[in-house]
Chains A and B, each alone.
Chain A
Amino acid sequence: LARILGYKMSFTIANGLAEESPGILEVNRYVHTRMEKAWEDRDKAIKNGVTYRYEAPITVGPITYESEKVEGCDLRLIRGGMPTTFISDARQGVSDLVKATGSQAGINGTFFAMAAIKSTDNRLVGPSKTPEMAEVLPDMETTRWPKLRNRPLVMWGPYGAAIYPYQPATMVQDRAYREGMLDMTDCFLGGAWLVHQGMARTREQILATGSSDSMDYRRRAFFGFDMDGRPICGATYNSVTSEQFAVSLAEKGVSEAVLLDSGFSTSLVLGEKILASG
């Protein structure tokens, strides 16, 4: 309504708990008497450019594979095709999931809540949705919300993809996600934004939202989009930091990249061939 009437911004004056907000456009965070505080918090929230966003159509083409050593990273990349996500009831290998879903390629997904190798728990860090789910499954573990704020929320539907900074308190209801993309079929929360608009993010920028072990040497994995809007994912065959990984991906022409779970879970598969593992 504000836009129709020619205003640049507006605010609601309803008082209520932030976590009970109806959506991202109606956040019960500040009443009109606390505007000064809102501006202060806004300045803190955009530090390190965390309000970056990506929105583009998905370009679907043949699935291609390439490998190259770039900036000390043994990169193995798969691009093309149409992406879809899958959440297992327990835990499964990527090869089995590729086979079971009739897919041609796959990579391990995002970070899971229980890292123990013997665990069979399938809870993920952050919200998630697959085509099989009617609504987004929110992350209601409020104790980790402060750490997750502004991490890259990746979503797509049949016509386009987007990456937005995640705001846990206002992204609880499915409706909040639909405001970003009405026909969204898949979403998950990346561990850190590694490359944006073809530029590698700095160590400080990665650590501003990523976990403290982002700079550990691990076999790293990512998902994102190239300059043409094609999905691209890949992993390293050697152990590298997220900073090195980001630099090498930007060098290879990756436009947007978010960090996936890396280390023991790293797994890149094309058909029956395993090309990288943890």
Chain B
Amino acid sequence: PIPHAILLKGEVDKASEELAKKDEI
């Protein structure tokens, strides 16, 4: 847990979502 975060808002690229699935921990 942390007190400060940087957040990103926008449309997520589909291919990137698939790539992220492989790297999920």
A binds B: yes
User: In the assembly, what is the distance between CA of A124 and CA of B4, in Å?
Assistant: 8
The complex places the Cα of A88 from the Cα of B7 at a distance, in Å, of 13
In this complex, how many residues of chain B approach chain A with their Cβ under 8 Å: the count is 21
- Chain A interface residue count, Cβ-Cβ cutoff 8 angstroms: 57
Inter-chain CA distance A261–B3, complex, in Å, is: 11
> What per-residue 1/0 map shows which CB atoms of A201-236 lie under 8 Å from chain B?
000000000000000000000010000000101000
Chain A hits for B8, CB < 8 A: 63, 78, 80-84, 103-106, 231, 233
A65 touches B3 (CB 8 A): no
Instruction: Give the most central of B6, B17, B24: most A CB within 10 Å.
Output: B6
B11 and A63 within 8 A (CB):
yes
Chain B residues contacting A108 (CB-CB under 8 Å) are 2, 4-6
- A-facing residues in B8-25 (Cβ within 8 Å): 8-13, 16-17, 19-21, 23-25
- Which A residues lie at the B interface, using CB under 8 A? 60-67, 76, 78, 80-88, 90-94, 97-98, 101-110, 112, 121-124, 128, 188, 223, 231, 233, 260-261, 265, 267, 270-271, 273-277
Interface set of B (CB-CB < 8 Å, partner A): 1-13, 16-17, 19-21, 23-25
Which 5 pairs, one residue from A and one from B, show the smallest C-beta to C-beta distance? A109-B4, A81-B10, A81-B8, A122-B3, A91-B1
Task: Pull 26 A–B residue pairs with CB atoms less than 8 Å apart, ordered by A.
Answer: A63-B8, A64-B16, A76-B23, A78-B8, A81-B9, A82-B8, A83-B6, A84-B6, A86-B5, A90-B1, A91-B1, A97-B7, A98-B7, A104-B10, A106-B5, A107-B5, A108-B2, A109-B5, A110-B4, A112-B4, A121-B3, A124-B3, A223-B6, A265-B2, A273-B20, A274-B24
